[in-house]
Amino acid sequence: MKTRNIGPFTVSAIGLGCMNLSHAYGTPPPPEQGERVLLAALDSGVTLFDTAALYGLGSNELLVGRVLKPHRGRITLCSKGGLAGVTGDDGVRRRVIDGRPEAIRRDCENSLRSLQTDVIDLYYLHRWDKKVPIEESVGAISRLVEQGKVRTLGLSEVSAATIRKAHAVHPVTAVQTEYSLWTRNPEIAVLDTCREIGAAFVAFSPVARAFLCDALHDVSSLDAKDIRRTMPRFEPANYAQNLKLLPGYKALAQEAGCTPAQLALAWLLHKAPHIVPIPGTTSVEHLREDLAAADVKLSPDLLIRLEAHINQRTVTGHRYSAQARSEVDTEEFDPPV
């Protein structure tokens, strides 16, 4: 496996986003299947594993911690706080954004226990709680660094301006945001800001939530609890328009001598050396297909044609619902005229 750098860590050029194993896409696979995927990733050379307190309302960290504890010295372990499952007075566990220092400390302590580790290599603020100054939330994580509970600090779904404010308080090692051919928002300012401050950019949903895998043709088949049902791009009318992009996209993958999923990942790896994609999957077969993208070579001409074919002007629908957009701080392109 080729490698890239995230702060002081040398990691596999393609990491594993562990969310799919417990969260977001309908009924998760059984734990034994999740274990097979995690161990197959490890055996294939993956050294970057990304989880969060939110995923499965805590169950994903428990899975990752149990399976990877014996291999802790071989991996870079990442998790996130400030957005977690919190049990209310009624006993129901709910998703809560809370960037207060005391909440971040609580989330980190819970994550350390769940992950069965003494230290988290890269700890992200999962969402900026806009009721709390970013400097206060980042200050709380910096104190976790001082205490030896966290090695480095990251941010998720924030703007360039917020990154700079945070970086003034404590060095930002990585910024994680959705980035793929059909979600190009980081190109507005965040990618350049990361490069300028020496931070890595970690791209989640790099295969566009299976769209760029050519694996989802009928959105009516999605599980009732699948997160994509809330996303405008997957609304039936919008998705029908987006599906029209696939034939040309698949032709470009064939020209490149790779699968559609590999083309999406290879494109990210070609964009800049500080970008590290973290695709997720519940399938060992798909995992191995994804990892092979590290060896795909794309010509400059093909890259130009690929970017012209799928971009913010050719895709129909927002990436998030209005509610979800209100919870992030990322820049957005003006809607097409």
Residue 190 in contact with residue 159, Cβ under 8 Å?
Answer: yes
Give me the pLDDT at residue 58, please.
Answer: 93
How far is residue 282's CA from residue 105's CA, in Å, rounded to a whole number? 31
Give me the pLDDT at residue 337, please.
Answer: 46
Model pTM score: 0.96
pLDDT along the chain (337 residues), means of 10: 97 98 95 98 98 95 98 98 86 89 97 98 98 98 98 98 98 98 98 98 98 95 95 97 98 98 98 98 98 98 98 96 96 76
Domains and CATH numbers, the chain: 3-210+272-297 (3.20.20.100)
**CB-based contacts of 337, cutoff 8 Å, min separation 6:** none
How far is residue 124's CA from residue 290's CA, in Å, rounded to a whole number? 24
Give me the pLDDT at residue 22, please.
Answer: 97
Radius of gyration of the chain (CA): 19
Cα–Cα separations (whole angstroms), residue 16 to 40, 47, 75, 231: 11, 8, 11, 23
Per annotation, catalytic residue among 55, 123, 179, 239: 55
Is 239 catalytic? The answer is no
How far is residue 172's CA from residue 178's CA, in Å, rounded to a whole number? 18
How far is residue 93's CA from residue 141's CA, in Å, rounded to a whole number? 24
How far is residue 216's CA from residue 290's CA, in Å, rounded to a whole number? 17
Phi, psi of 256 (to 5 degrees): -80, -10
Q: Quickly count helices (H) and strands (E) in the chain.
A: 12, 12
How far is residue 72's CA from residue 24's CA, in Å, rounded to a whole number? 26
Other C-beta atoms closer than 10 Å to the C-beta of 164 total 14
How far is residue 66's CA from residue 63's CA, in Å, rounded to a whole number? 5
Residue 287 in contact with residue 41, Cβ under 8 Å?
Answer: yes
Which tokens belong to 101? Answer: 């220092």
How far is residue 1's CA from residue 148's CA, in Å, rounded to a whole number? 30
